[in-house]
Amino acid sequence: MRTIEEHAEAVAGLVARVFEGLSTETLSVDSRLLARGDSSTRRRVLAADVVAPIDLPPFDNSQMDGYAVRSRELADGPRALTIGRRIPAGVAPPPLEAGTAAPIMTGAPIPDGADAVVQIEVADPPRFLPEGEHGDVVLPHAPAGQFVRTAGSDVRRNDLLFAAGTVLGPAHWGVLASAGVAAVDVVAQPRVAVVSTGSELRVEASPASAPALRPASGQAPASAPAPASALAAAEIHDANAASLSVALTDLGARVEVFQVPDAVDALLALLVGFATADGPAFDLVVTTGGVSAGAYEVVREALEPRGIEFGSVAMQPGGPQGWGTLPVGEASLPVVCFPGNPVSALISFQAFLRVPLAAGARRALPRRDATAVLAEGADSPPGKHQLRRARLDAAGLVHFVGGPSSHLLHQYAQATVLAHIPVGVGRVEAGDEVVVWALDD
């Protein structure tokens, strides 16, 4: 029987192979596409260096609303200058005439001949004259370069904007857009097939678009769920596909869901069908169910003869696990097999997939291992490392949420941490210190 740490190391090795073999793809730097908000642009990793095609800023421009001036004309202190032509942002101005001060707006180009800006607040009068009205303005001394943002002061043309391996966040996309970069090459997202097994699973129809509920003005948003399709006798809805799809997508994976009954031939046909002329259609397969020692362990029956290892990990819930690489066409496909109980599947994800997937995608995770004090006691099987759903109260004390049973998914959803009771400990008491993993990151 493996420890959690030993199995985590084995799965991490499989996942590392996933990221070593990823191709690249090109993403458009288009705010309309970025505004979609899906995972295709979130925290992507550059596959190649990006060089600045232009200076940033691309031209000298004003840092303030004020007057563009020749600094030498104000070298001796306050002086009256004739008010010139107004310069709004987005307009190429004419050269500044001698003895004049041009009203200029923030971000507007500095006219030829000007080398400083005097902010409107220190002018006399301290406001702009109405458009078309002529007059003079008294301005104080202004050194050359005052409130002028010079071309290339942020980035020079042909400078390295971002190196390959950079994780693109909001500011990076803003820089790329401001530099006029049309598209960038990024590391492709890992393609993950989530395969839910079990003849008890209701086969869900393809999702249909439904109009959003629109609350009346001033009312809270409507929260009534759409009615689920009726279950036949002995049927259940597929919780694992939903929860694991979201968990994987949150870490940058591109997920496709499949449902397979308890039939070895059906599962093998699905997996063999992942072979394409360009290699496997997926980079990783995650299965749920069919891994234990029951009479209908379809995943184990199908994959163990083909090189996937199955065994027990000394943990509760989530003890039965499978892992390995499956021959698919001329290539091999990493496969991770989780138990079918929903809590077991999610805790298996937390224990074995979350960290290596985040590392491969260059996604920093908050510090996970923390310690906290129990508010209550609990029993635990001494031969297992138990992970209990729990919540932290305002004082930081750990309260268990529900019992240890692996079907209590709603109670998992109420938890904020997983509390660890290690192997060899049969009972913990209030006041004991335990390791906790945060679930809300």
**Of 307, 335, 360, which residue is a domain's last?**
360
- At 222, the pLDDT band (50, 70, 90 cuts) reads low
Tokens of 370: 């923390």
**Of 332, 360, 388, which residue is a domain's last?**
360
Tell me: the pLDDT tens digits for 256-314?
999 999 999 999 999 999 999 888 999 999 999 999 877 779 999 999 999 999 999 99
Is residue 227, in this structure, part of any structural domain at all? no
Q: Are residues 46 and 67 in the same domain?
A: no
Q: What pLDDT, on a 0 to 100 scale, did the predictor assign at position 34?
A: 82
What does the mean pLDDT of the chain come to? 91
Q: Are residues 345 and 311 in the same domain?
A: yes
Read off the pLDDT of each residue in 75-85 and give the average, rounded to a whole number: 95
Q: What pLDDT, on a 0 to 100 scale, did the predictor assign at position 212?
A: 45
The answer to whether residues 202 and 229 touch, using CB atoms and an 8 Å cutoff, is yes
Whole-structure pTM value: 0.83
Q: Are residues 78 and 164 in the same domain?
A: no
Task: Give yes or no for residue 215 having a pLDDT over 50.
Answer: no
Q: What pLDDT, on a 0 to 100 scale, did the predictor assign at position 362?
A: 86
- At 203, the pLDDT band (50, 70, 90 cuts) reads confident
Q: What pLDDT, on a 0 to 100 scale, did the predictor assign at position 396?
A: 93
Q: What pLDDT, on a 0 to 100 scale, did the predictor assign at position 59?
A: 98
Q: What pLDDT, on a 0 to 100 scale, did the predictor assign at position 330?
A: 85
Could you give the number of structural domains in the chain? 4
Q: What pLDDT, on a 0 to 100 scale, did the predictor assign at position 14?
A: 94
Please name the amino acid found at residue 388. R
Distance CA 403, CA 411 (A): 9
Is residue 324, in this structure, part of any structural domain at all? yes
Is residue 144, in this structure, part of any structural domain at all? yes
- At 147, the pLDDT band (50, 70, 90 cuts) reads very high
Q: Are residues 118 and 248 in the same domain?
A: no
- Beta-carbon contacts of 337 under 8 Å, excluding residues fewer than 6 positions away, are 286, 287, 288, 290, 291, 299, 300, 303, 308, 310, 321, 322, 323
Is residue 338, in this structure, part of any structural domain at all? yes
Q: Are residues 194 and 297 in the same domain?
A: yes
Q: What pLDDT, on a 0 to 100 scale, did the predictor assign at position 186?
A: 96
**Of 360, 382, 405, which residue is a domain's last?**
360
Q: What pLDDT, on a 0 to 100 scale, did the predictor assign at position 43?
A: 85
Q: What percent of the chain has pLDDT over 90?
A: 78
Tell me: the pLDDT tens digits for 112-140?
999 999 999 999 999 999 988 999 999 99
Is residue 171, in this structure, part of any structural domain at all? yes
- At 209, the pLDDT band (50, 70, 90 cuts) reads very low
Q: What pLDDT, on a 0 to 100 scale, did the predictor assign at position 269?
A: 95
Q: Are residues 268 and 165 in the same domain?
A: no
Tokens of 79: 């002086």
Tell me: the pLDDT tens digits for 302-319?
999 999 999 999 999 999
Task: Give yes or no for residue 90 having a pLDDT over 50.
Answer: yes
Q: Report the 3 state secondary structure along the chain.
A: CECHHHHHHHHHHHHHHHHHCCCEEEEECCHHHHCCCCCCCCCEEECCCEECCCCECCCCEECCCEEEECHHHHCCCCEEEEECCCECCCCCCCCCCCCEEEEECCCCECCCCCCEEEEHHHCECCCCCCCCCCCEEEECCCCCCCCEECCCCCECCCCEEECCCCEECHHHHHHHHHCCCCEEEEECCCEEEEEEECCCECCCCCCCCCCCCCCCCCCCCCCCCCCCCCCCCCCECCHHHHHHHHHHHHCCCEEEEEEECCCHHHHHHHHHCCEECCEECCCEEEEECCCCCCCCCHHHHHHHHHCCEEEEECEECCCEEEEEEEEECCEEEEEEEECCCHHHHHHHHHHHHHHHHHHHCCCCCCCCEEEEEECCCEECCCCCEEEEEEEECCCCEEEECCCCCCCCHHHHHHCCEEEEECCCCCEECCCCEEEEEECCC
**Residue 117: C-alpha distances to residues 9, 61, 84, 103, 107 (Å):** 61, 10, 14, 9, 12
Domain span at residue 409?
369-438
- At 216, the pLDDT band (50, 70, 90 cuts) reads very low
Task: Give yes or no for residue 221 having a pLDDT over 70.
Answer: no
Is residue 271, in this structure, part of any structural domain at all? yes
As beta bridge partners, residue 102 has 68
Is residue 315, in this structure, part of any structural domain at all? yes
Q: Are residues 405 and 319 in the same domain?
A: no
Distance CA 72, CA 66 (A): 17
Read off the pLDDT of each residue in 39-48 and give the average, rounded to a whole number: 86
Q: What pLDDT, on a 0 to 100 scale, did the predictor assign at position 210?
A: 44
Q: Are residues 328 and 255 in the same domain?
A: yes
Is residue 211, in this structure, part of any structural domain at all? no
- The CATH number covering residue 51 comes to 3.90.105.10
Q: What pLDDT, on a 0 to 100 scale, did the predictor assign at position 33?
A: 82
Q: Are residues 196 and 276 in the same domain?
A: yes
Q: Are residues 109 and 10 in the same domain?
A: no
- The CATH number covering residue 248 comes to 3.40.980.10
Task: Give yes or no for residue 50 having a pLDDT over 90.
Answer: yes
Q: What pLDDT, on a 0 to 100 scale, did the predictor assign at position 296?
A: 78
Distance CA 372, CA 110 (A): 59
Q: Are residues 262 and 292 in the same domain?
A: yes
Q: Are residues 136 and 242 in the same domain?
A: no
Q: What pLDDT, on a 0 to 100 scale, did the predictor assign at position 259?
A: 95
- At 367, the pLDDT band (50, 70, 90 cuts) reads low
- The CATH number covering residue 392 comes to 2.40.340.10
- The CATH number covering residue 89 comes to 2.170.190.11
Task: Give yes or no for residue 205 having a pLDDT over 70.
Answer: no
DSSP β-ladder status, 320-328 and 331-338: antiparallel
